[in-house]
Amino acid sequence: MNYISTRSNTETLSASQAIIKGLSDDGGLYVPSKFPDLREELKNLSTLTYCELAFFILKNFLTDFTDEELSNCINSAYKNNFDTSEITPIKQIGNDYILELFHGPTLAFKDIALTLMPHLLKTSINKNNLDKEILVLTATSGDTGKAALEGFKDIDNVKIIVFFPENGVSPIQKLQMKTQEGKNVFVAGINGNFDDAQSAVKKIFSNDDFNKILNKNGFILSSANSINIGRLLPQVVYYFYSYFKLVNTKKIKLFDKVNFVVPTGNFGDILAGYYAKEMGLPVNKLICASNENNVLYDFFRTGEYNKNKELKLTTSPSMDILVSSNLERLLFESCNRDSRLISALFKSFSETGYYKISNLMRQNLNDFCGYYCTDEEVSETINHVFNKYNYLIDTHTSVAYCSLNKFKSNNSNKYKNIILSTASPFKFAKDVLNSINNNNNNLQDFDVIDKLSILGKIDVPKPIADLRDKKIIHDNIYDKNELKLAIQNFLEI
């Protein structure tokens, strides 16, 4: 298995090389040279543990890793970092199912990949005999930042910098990042939104002069965002795992199709579902759930992508994104891997903020459909799920649940539906609490959390409870055009 860029066919890398680089020199994203076909293997995979399944799936992609190396990476990631041995348990809510992806150290779905990726990167560094340090550069809309910081802290030969929109994340998300410990970590808020941060980070990757300065000082850039194939591939596993959970509990039969409903911002999470389908997982529809920043909803409805609109700050801030980077990988597949077309498409997008795909490409996206929900609908959905099922969901998961109901109203409910959760409701406690209970305006952040715990009859998760006594370590704020300065300040170059 090799890796190629979505924007050219001149570069072929091994898995470890693609993980180290993160982003191609031409600005494209690395994709596998082919998708492994697991259709004949499904029966044998259905009884595996999460770690066993992760090993089987990832060894098809990471072919330059030895079995021992891959096994060590997986065990180091999953054996002691999650509060359940299942890693991603699934809960039945009415006739539907919620895949709980928030049982890791930072209580968000990003933990599934970002507990594993640092070990993949460290192994990749050793395999390629690098004599430089890796500088992991990441923009976050909330959850990637903390998960990446926690995963990469104190790892030898790696430094990590995380940029987040100062006024675009929840109070708990911000506190998680600003209190992050580790001798090799740096966190900075920016005066701008996530798209500003993501765009600035991408420009740094493509800035040859600045990369030469970094190289001269002993650093190579990499990324922990889902633009890095090492972040994306581990997410494929939980699609298979959740499907097999329904098979093993006799909710479905093997080879029955299911729908997956995914709260979507940067498009990496739902793209992993597409990869799983291409590998043979029986998927009917991938339902792309958006908040009021509904560029993806518009795209799947019209074939046009237009980022030229005002970003709205919603109660689901991790999805407050107008440029969904991973969509490029899907478009690459939809045009039968025509890298010249993708390169031209995104050259136009960088200049105008707009592109339109062909009818043939649209036909190749029939696996997807899009829905979106307003903040008011999100609040009503949280209230409904809590009062009917005594189950708390966070604002992003609520977007997916609400979108599923809209999907059902337009389609026959022939298949089982699996909703991918985003985070613990305690990470967005104020908006969740306001959805189920009034008169909370005067409460401080941790008073809100305590009240939510009492009403929901759920203990406050330890990673959040521990924040009460943590000190602010990172209070850096930069303008969106000052990211190079922030990097130089941290590296002292």
> What is the CB-side half-sphere exposure of residue 395 using CA atoms within 13 A?
26
- For the chain, percent of residues with pLDDT exceeding 70: 100
Phi, psi of 308 (to 5 degrees): -80, 65
* pLDDT tens sequence across 459-484: 999 999 999 999 999 999 999 999 99
Q: Which of 21, 59, 91, 110 is catalytic?
A: 110
Is the pLDDT at 442 greater than 90, yes or no?
Answer: no
pLDDT at 346: 95
Could you tell me the pLDDT band of residue 10, with boundaries at 50, 70 and 90?
confident
Please give the mean pLDDT across all residues of the chain.
96
How far, in Å, CA of 423 to CA of 397, rounded?
8
Could you tell me the pLDDT band of residue 165, with boundaries at 50, 70 and 90?
very high
* pLDDT tens sequence across 319-363: 999 999 999 999 999 999 999 999 999 999 999 999 999 999 999
Is the pLDDT at 440 greater than 90, yes or no?
Answer: no
Which one is the CATH code of 90-106+231-466: 3.30.470.10, 3.40.50.1100, 3.30.365.10, 3.30.43.10?
3.40.50.1100
In the block, residue with structure tokens 């941290």: 490
Task: Please give the average per-residue pLDDT across 127-151, as a whole number.
Answer: 92
- For the chain, percent of residues with pLDDT exceeding 90: 94
pLDDT at 184: 97
pTM: 0.95
- 356 as an active site residue: the answer is no
pLDDT at 84: 96
pLDDT at 302: 97
**Every domain of the chain and the residues it spans:** 90-106+231-466
pLDDT at 439: 79
Is the pLDDT at 2 greater than 90, yes or no?
Answer: yes
* pLDDT tens sequence across 53-87: 999 999 999 999 999 999 999 999 999 999 999 99
How far, in Å, CA of 455 to CA of 434, rounded?
12
* pLDDT tens sequence across 355-396: 999 999 999 999 999 999 999 999 999 999 999 999 999 999
